[in-house]
Structure 1
Amino acid sequence: MIEIKADTTAVTQALERLARSAADTSPVMRAIAGVMHDAVMENFDQGGRPAWVPLKPATLAQKRKLGYGDKPLIRRGGGQSLYSSITSRSDQNSAVVGTDVVYAAIHQFGGRTAPHVIKPRNKKALAWPGIRHPVRSVNHPGSLIPARPFLSLTDADEQKIVSKISDYLARAVGGSQA
């Protein structure tokens, strides 16, 4: 009988390093959260990937008048904007990118706002060009908001995430810190 004895020290050490790395995946989760955050910000910067439905001319004119720029879902100026509300976080088991802005879902998925009454804030009545006389209130039927999915990843973004995971595992097996 032939017996072959192999020194498996290197294999054993590599498996031990891999097991230690698998016990704390927070470094790779942090890297994944970074890739996802960058992807979401790129969606805003490019006006969607694929491109979002353009703003209506009246909406665009109002944004320009208020100094908010031309891009959908980005409001530069006063108050918190959807764009500036995007955050990322990660832990040992997850990587998350999102927002706590209440109106984010209707922009992500689209939909219709609820009917509501518009009343003047600082005056006794509302008036605008084309109306015969001032009115105390207006019944607004609600607005149709097109979907502009900002929380999305392209195939290239997903490839970056796979690459981060592959690099992490290669470093873990290779012996360097992840």
Structure 2
Amino acid sequence: MFTIKFLNQKRTETALVNMGKFATRPIKALKRIGVTMVMSTLKNFESEGRPKWVPLSPMTLAMRRNKNKMSAKILRDTGNLMNSITYAIVDDDTGVQIGTNVKYAGTHQYGGKIKIPARTIVPKHAKVLSFMIGGKRVFATKVKQKARTVVIPQRKFLMFQEEDKDDIRQILVEELMGVVKDTKKQIGNEGSINQS
């Protein structure tokens, strides 16, 4: 709780204007909150979920090995999604939004199904395809692949953690105390602003 006492109307007006500016356009606090939430989201990627995400499927791991991608990190195949996380000040400078513009982000955030149509695979740089089936090497000039549906599990990366809520409260208190300090400087010795 704050107690504000003024002995002068002009100083009272100054204090109320300063508090009003903070209440209606807390841009500095919102920027700090935005950075805090981006950092928290990056921790989600580094920890592979908080709580832990569903592990990669054996098929995904095999595909990464075939592409010589050594990373088995979930949602970090190329790093595009993780590196796209950003924040924006919104609603006439009264809110902050954390997100990404990567098209496939929603599929990972909420889970989903991807329908893959039937197709024929042909070699690009060789005369035949070579692959293993049942431990035996097989050669083919083309392979027909049936239509299928791939289920992508939900892996929430944009989410508040309990410590984020505490950090946001702390940011708001610090920013408000900064306004109080600035107001004390402006009003001088007449009157007082105290936190209890």
TM range, normalised to the smaller chain?
Answer: 0.7 to 0.9
Gaps of 5+ in 1: 1-5
Matched residue, 1:84: 83
2:72 matched to 1:70?
A: yes
Deviates more, 1:116-125 or 1:153-162: 116-125
Of the three residues 127, 130, 133, the one matched with 1:130 is 133
Partners in 2 of 1:175 and 1:127 — Cα distance?
73
The TM-score normalised by the length of structure 2 is 0.73
Of the three residues 162, 171, 179, the one matched with 1:164 is 171
Partners in 1 of 2:128 and 2:143 — Cα distance?
4
The alignment-based identity, stated in percent, is: 27
Matched residue, 2:190: none
- How far off its partner does 1:138 sit? 0.8
Matched residue, 2:116: 115
Provide the alpha-carbon RMSD of the alignment: 2.7
8 Å contact kept, 2:121–2:145:
no
8 Å contact kept, 1:33–1:97:
yes
Tell me, what secondary structure is at the counterpart of 1:67? Answer: coil
8 Å contact kept, 2:34–2:97:
yes
| Structure with max Cα Rg | 2
Gaps of 5+ in 2: 1-5, 186-196
Number of residue pairs matched? 169
Partners in 2 of 1:125 and 1:110 — Cα distance?
37
- How far off its partner does 1:93 sit? 2.0
Partners in 2 of 1:125 and 1:100 — Cα distance?
40
- The structure carrying a bigger strand percent of its residues is 2
The TM-score normalised by the length of structure 1 is 0.79
8 Å contact kept, 1:48–1:149:
yes
8 Å contact kept, 2:24–2:94:
no
